[in-house]
Amino acid sequence: MTPMKYLRTTDLARAVGIHPNTVRLYEAWGFLPPVTRSPKGYRRFTVAHLDQLRLARVVMHGGWPGKNIRQAGLALVRKSASGDLGGALEMAHQLVALIQAERAQAEAAAAFLERWASGAPAEAAGRELRIGDAARLLNTTIDSLRNWERNGLIVVPRDPHNGYRLYGAPEIGRLRVIRMLMRSGYSAMAVLRMLLQFDRGQTENLRQALDTPRPDEDVLSANDRWLSTLTDVEQRAVQAIRLLEETIRRQT
């Protein structure tokens, strides 16, 4: 009987293009199956460990935006590391569905923005509201309205007699667009970038403005280019499905 050929930590690291310490971290985090040791204490990795490392690298490298998506990615890696490849494959398909739902919501918000920017009304005319009434109407908080104003997303007129903010139909309509975009995952920076373009009278390609940071802009999060981020992570989730299917096929 041919003795099993074991792989070293450096073999795995070289195969996926990472530092050996990253392999050890993945092991410590539960991203790899349990590893046996030689009598001298060296780790004895197998091809199964290499398959799992490739999967973990695809899923973990670059991160996952949003708490639910990130947790789903971590869960499928750990499920595969436990030896339940079928369960991990099922979770990978669920991850794709979750990402697609997020992207559909982001696309819907962008479509709402484009309709509003083309002149379609987002709010019926009515009496002017103070900030508390506006927050209740929009199902948000007074702090959120103040924060959006502070960050330059909207300018709210004031009552000349007492200085109170007055939200009319134009302000409420703009706030509906802001709220929908923010709740759909776009960052305040992305929304501001788009609104600055809109306020200059450039109403075309606003969806692109949401997703394209300026050269002088610090990109601090994946939400600063949300649509592109969701497209990228969906491709990684699909790649994870392919890797799991290949692993299952080899073990069948």
Confidence of residue 155 (pLDDT cuts 50, 70, 90): very high
- Determine the topology of domain 1-57 in CATH: Multidrug-efflux Transporter Regulator; Chain: A; Domain 2 (1.10.1660)
- Which are the contacts of 216, defined by CB distance < 8 A and separation ≥ 6? none
CATH value of 105-226 in 1.10.1660.10, 3.20.20.120, 1.10.3090.10, 3.20.20.140: 1.10.1660.10
**pLDDT of the residue at 1:** 45
Percent over 90 (pLDDT), the chain: 73
Domain boundaries, the chain: 1-57, 105-226
* Interval 32-50: pLDDT, tens: 999 999 988 889 999 999 9
Element (H, E) at 67: helix 67-81
Kindly give, in sequence order, each residue whose CB lies less than 8 Å from that of residue 72, ignoring residues fewer than 6 positions away: 64, 91, 94, 95, 98
Can you tell me the distance from the alpha carbon of 218 to that of 211, in angstroms, rounded to the nearest whole number? 13
CA distance 200 to 117: 12
What mean pLDDT is predicted for residues 133-141?
A: 95
- Please spell the DSSP secondary structure of 69-135, one letter per residue: HHHHHHHHHHHHHTT-HHHHHHHHHHHHHHHHHHHHHHHHHHHHHHHHHTT--SS-----B-HHHHH
Res. 2: pLDDT tops 60? no
116-130 confidence digits (pLDDT tens): 999 998 888 888 999
Cβ count within 10 A of residue 251? 9
Tokens representing residue 147 in the block: 């924060």
Separation between Cα atoms, residue 182 and residue 177, nearest integer Å: 9
pLDDT tens profile 192-245: 999 999 999 998 889 898 888 877 666 566 778 888 889 999 999 999 999 999
Question: What burial class does residue 24 get, using C-beta atoms within 10 Å of its C-beta: 0-12 exposed, 13-18 middle, 19+ buried?
Answer: middle
What's the pLDDT band for 67 if we cut at 50, 70, 90? confident
**1-57 and 105-226 in the same fold:** yes
Distance of alpha carbon 155 from alpha carbon 247, whole angstroms: 56
